[in-house]
Amino acid sequence: MLQKNSDIMKSSQNRAIITVVGTDQVGIIARVSMALSNQNVNILDISQTILQDFFTMIMIVDLENAKISLQELQVILKENGEAIGVQINAQHEDIFKFMHRI
């Protein structure tokens, strides 16, 4: 248990959580995945659902070997989101770990 806690506290891993919220349409996942693959960002997991008519996607990605920093990725994703009218957030995984896991 102690081991697990200390794992959770480790912030050295360079993972981010990407959320996409907006009206469902063809090609959202394709577009986001393409943007990520262009920068060599590895997708570790995807979950997708329709919440109250809104397309909602959560991705966990690894930036360990990415060509760009998380800040630069945020800019690229934001532009992509605006182009198709969905909101894309990318945040370091630690913020969720700290708030929801002890």
Q: Is residue 40 near another protein by the rule CB under 8 A? A: no
What percentage of the chain's residues is helix, strand, coil (to nearest 5)?
Answer: 40, 35, 25
Determine the 3-state secondary structure of 62 from DSSP.
strand
- DSSP, collapsed to helix, strand or coil, labels residue 95 as helix
Size of the site for another protein (CB under 8 A): 26
CA dihedral of residues 9, 15, 19, 24 (deg, nearest 10): -140
Applying CB under 8 A, the span of 26-34, 40-48, 78-86 interacting with another protein comes to 40-48
Q: Is 45 in the site for another protein (CB under 8 A)?
A: yes
Q: Which residues bind another protein (CB under 8 A)?
A: 11, 17, 19, 44-45, 47, 49, 51, 56, 58, 60, 62, 70-71, 74, 89-92, 94-96, 98-101
